[in-house]
Amino acid sequence: MASPLLSSFSFSDSIIGFIIDGPYDDAMVNKIQNEVYGKLEIYEKLNFYIEDTKNAKISMKSIIKSIPFKIKTRNRFEKVAVVTDRKWLQFISYLEKLFFKAEIRIFPTESRLEAIHWISH
């Protein structure tokens, strides 16, 4: 079994970002949620950046597993940038706009720099 590949970074104290480059499984979902909870203990609101690579193996099961976390923290985000070329993930992100107070923008991979600029201002 391949280990999950996840890069996390921060442009500023109140921005947290992740790049998924491998299996997006329960372990990775838990890792992301734990890092976000850690930041939310310090900051009332966060900006969140998430990107997948062509090597990311994202399952619907893992997306569903993250729903309770998203509901619990939905009022704690200002901006969310989703960088993906996967049409089904773009569609899910558009649906999430209906339930979250955060401003959610979806960017294709080729617009990564635009997403980084937007999330950091």
pLDDT tens digits, one per residue of 34-90: 999 999 999 999 999 999 999 999 988 999 999 899 999 999 999 999 999 999 999
Beta bridge partners of 80: 48, 104
pLDDT of residue 1: 38
For residue 118, how many C-alpha atoms fall within 13 Å in the half-sphere facing its CB?
Answer: 19
pTM of the predicted model as reported, rounded to 2 decimal places: 0.89
Domains and CATH numbers, the chain: 6-115 (3.30.750.24)
pLDDT > 90? residue 33: yes
pLDDT at 8: 67
pLDDT value of position 3:
45
